[in-house]
Structures are given as C-alpha cells and as structure tokens.
Amino acid sequence: MNKNKIIPAPDGRPCIVPSVLSADFSCLKKSLRGLERQAGWVQLDVMDGHFVPNLSFGPHVASGLAAATPLALDAHLMVERPGMFIQPFARAGVSLITVHQEAEDDIGACLKKIRSLGLKAGLALRPKTPLSRALKYLGRVDLLLLMTVEPGFGGQSFMPGILSKISEARRAIAGLGRPVWLQVDGGINEDTAPLAARAGADSLVMGKAVFSNPDPSGFVRKLNARLKGKQLL
C-alpha cells in the first residue's frame, strides 16, 4: 500500500506525536499546518463507545486527514474488536496501527494482520495492565504504548506512578536487539514530557498541550529543542 506514509525508525531521541483528538475538527488541515517539520507523525484516537465510553473517528476521517498532511498517521484502536478495524484503516492510509492488550480479539493474530499489510504494528497497555502481559509480543511490534491516563477522554492528568513502568519497558526493549518505539499517551505536556523521556519514552503523544497553544508549531519546536538537547530537568 504505497499511499501509506513512512513512520520513522527510533533514533534514540524523543519524538512528539500530536493527537488530533484535541484539534479543531472544523479545520484539521489548518490545525496541522506548520507541524510537518516538528512532529514525528500524527495520531488518531479511534474509540468505539464500548472499550471506552466515547466515540471518535472512523476510517473516512483518516482518509481525509491522510490527504491533508504529509505526516504519517497512527491509528490507536481503543476498541473491543480491533480485528475488524485493521483493514479499513490500512486502506484509509494509516501507517501504524496500535491495538490494546485488553481487547477481546486474538492480539497475536491482530499484530500479524497489521504487519501482513505492510504497516507498523503497535501494542498498548492501560495503566493498570502489567507490563508482563506485553513482553511475549515485543518481538512482533514496532511500538509499545504505555497509557499514562485511563484511555477514552482527553485532558486528563499524567499518572506519575507509570514512570517506573516506562523504565522497565525501556530495559525490556533494550534487550531485544531491534528498534521499538516506546510511546506514552495521556497528560503529556511541557512539564511531564521531560519526565517520561527521562524514564525512557521516545514517542510522546500530545493533544491538548499542542492544540490549545496559540502557536502549536512553535510550542512543539521549542519542546523538541529542549528534549533533543537533553535539557530534561
């Protein structure tokens, strides 16, 4: 599927991933303008109203967004049955699909299906889900997402108790001998991003902090400089 853009490989430096859940839906293209050189890619939070209480995007939104930005798209499937969403989002042009360990479908089969379509595969864990439940899949994923809030709602506060889990996950990834993004999502802002990065996260999903700023591109540029310059204190 050559229309699907490329998710970059981890290079050891933190990467900011804007979540459009917090963007202005009336003009998503305008909301993303200027972020092309600052962001790693863009995330779509896909919610089915069952796995989490809210409803959000369908594949048609992903398709429209793929046409509106040169950035690659990541579909974070917060859904009970991710298997039925994989093919439609792949056709819509996303480059990475993340499924939840706690979903009802066979997770191994979902990861295999994602990769068979030529896409990057991600696995997500809720805050209370032990990291041990993801370890057997690490060799089959390109991204491990640790939720730092309960999934389903934007604007929640970062859970500092997850920092030790991030560090443990970083150690597990280091033992693989292959690159895997370690992503965090939930309550990430200019204060908590350095904490997560210091613990080992290298993909930082940010929604409200980016899109509530009067200058989203400038905000991300300055935070990038701070994180990539190792100014994490």
Helices (H), 19-97: 28-32, 59-68, 83-92
pLDDT at 230 over 80: no
Could you tell me which residues come within 8 angstroms of residue 16 by beta carbon, excluding any fewer than 6 positions away?
38, 39, 40, 193, 204, 206, 210, 220, 223, 224, 227
Spot the catalytic one: 74, 105, 142, 185: 185
Spot the catalytic one: 24, 45, 105, 202: 45
| pLDDT tier, 155 (very low <50, low <70, confident <90, very high otherwise) | low
Output the average pLDDT for the chain.
92
| pLDDT tier, 173 (very low <50, low <70, confident <90, very high otherwise) | very high
Distance linking the first and last C-alpha atoms of the chain: 42
**CA-closest candidate to residue 19, choices 168, 155, 163:** 155
Q: How many alpha carbons fall within 13 Å on the CB side of residue 157?
A: 3
- pLDDT, residue 22, reads 81
Tell me the pLDDT tens digit for each residue of 186-219.
Answer: 999 999 999 999 999 999 999 999 999 999 999 9
d(CA 47, CA 80): 9
| pLDDT tier, 182 (very low <50, low <70, confident <90, very high otherwise) | very high
Is-catalytic flag, 185?
yes
Tell me the pLDDT tens digit for each residue of 28-60.
Answer: 788 888 899 899 999 999 998 888 877 788 899
Spatial contact of 7 and 41, defined as CB atoms under 8 Å apart: yes
Residue 102, classified by CB atoms within 10 Å of its CB into exposed (0-12), middle (13-18) or buried (19+), is: middle
Strands of the sheet containing 203-206, edge to edge, are 15-18, 203-206, 181-185, 143-147, 120-125, 96-100, 73-78, 42-47
Percent of the chain with pLDDT over 70: 95
Hey, which residues does 182 pair with through a beta bridge? 144
Percent of the chain with pLDDT over 90: 76
What number is the average pLDDT over the span 65-91?
95
- pLDDT, residue 12, reads 87
What number is the average pLDDT over the span 72-86?
96
Could you tell me which residues come within 8 angstroms of residue 205 by beta carbon, excluding any fewer than 6 positions away?
17, 18, 19, 43, 145, 183, 184, 185, 186, 188
- pLDDT, residue 154, reads 64
| pLDDT tier, 141 (very low <50, low <70, confident <90, very high otherwise) | very high
Is CATH 3.20.20.70 what the domain over 15-228 is classified as, yes or no?
A: yes
Spatial contact of 210 and 216, defined as CB atoms under 8 Å apart: yes
What does the block give as tokens for 72? Answer: 């690659």
Tell me the pLDDT tens digit for each residue of 111-120.
Answer: 999 999 999 9
